[in-house]
């Protein structure tokens, strides 16, 4: 399997499908510890990404991610737009003009995306944010790539599975960043919506390559 521009377009379309499918779930998760707009914002943002892609297919994966970044920043309200926009922009910069993504490049792009989220949101692992999905995803992708895996699908799967586990692991955490932090101890027992949407995005990357 080759991760090229066509893969990136499939991935982003699958992201849009996932956000539409899980819109209500994300709304409900955000209603418990936030302002209940995460699902609506993510759905609207990725539908706008698909509309942009329909205007003309990007020539490289990096170009597709840059288009996504610009669209999410302009269309998604709340914290999610700047955070995801920064993530996709940093990933695009990491990939540059490469026509294809190998395992090491994907791991590096994920790390760049995560670092962008951290720089923008000032969150750390354990703060009950999307970083709790992205950091294990980065670690898993690096481990798979550094282990010599030439199978980029295996690296995608490792990252997605780690992100999903990371999202689940936010359940008992007490939020230390964002609107959820206003609840203090009452935020424990609820899953972070940003971590869930992050896991959906990384699982869509697998689906686009399968």
Q: Where are the domains positioned within the chain?
A: 5-209
Pick the CATH number of 5-209 from 1.25.40.340, 2.40.160.20, 3.50.50.60, 1.10.1740.10: 1.25.40.340
How far apart (Å, rounded) are the C-alpha atoms in residues 176 and 28? 20
pLDDT in tens, 71-99: 999 988 778 899 999 999 999 999 999 99
pLDDT above 90 for 113:
yes
With a CB cutoff of 8 Å and minimum separation 6, the contacts of 26 are 19, 38, 39, 42, 193, 196, 197
Mean pLDDT of all residues in 17-35:
95
pLDDT of residue 186: 85
- Please, which pLDDT band fits residue 210 given cuts at 50, 70 and 90? confident
How far apart (Å, rounded) are the C-alpha atoms in residues 131 and 198? 9
pLDDT of residue 149: 65
Per-residue tokens: 84:
């995801």
In percent, the amount of the chain with pLDDT more than 90 equals 85
pLDDT of residue 74: 92
**Share in percent of the chain as helix, strand, coil (round to 5):** 75, 0, 25
Reported pTM: 0.95
CA distances from 109 to 87, 88, 121, 156, 159 (A): 9, 9, 18, 12, 12
Mean pLDDT of all residues in 124-147:
96
């Amino acid at each position: 399997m080759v991760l090229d521009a066509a893969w990136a377009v499939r991935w982003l379309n699958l992201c849009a499908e996932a956000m539409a499918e899980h819109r209500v779930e994300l709304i409900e998760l955000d209603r418990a510890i936030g302002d209940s707009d995460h699902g609506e914002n993510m759905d609207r943002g990725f539908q706008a990404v698909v509309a942009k892609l329909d205007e003309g297919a990007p020539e490289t994966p990096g170009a597709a991610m840059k288009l996504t970044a610009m669209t999410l920043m302009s269309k998604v309200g709340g914290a999610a737009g700047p955070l995801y926009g920064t993530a996709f922009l940093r990933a695009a910069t990491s990939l540059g003009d490469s026509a294809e993504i190998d395992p090491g490049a994907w791991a590096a792009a994920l790390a760049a995306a995560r670092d962008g989220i951290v720089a923008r949101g000032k969150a750390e692992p354990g703060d009950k944010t999307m970083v709790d999905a992205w950091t294990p995803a980065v670690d898993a992708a690096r481990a798979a790539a550094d282990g010599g895996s030439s199978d980029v699908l295996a690296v995608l799967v490792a990252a997605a599975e780690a992100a999903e586990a990371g999202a689940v692991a936010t359940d008992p955490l007490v939020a230390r960043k964002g609107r959820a932090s206003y609840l203090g101890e009452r935020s424990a027992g609820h899953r972070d919506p940003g971590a869930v949407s992050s896991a959906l995005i990384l699982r869509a990357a697998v689906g686009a390559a399968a």
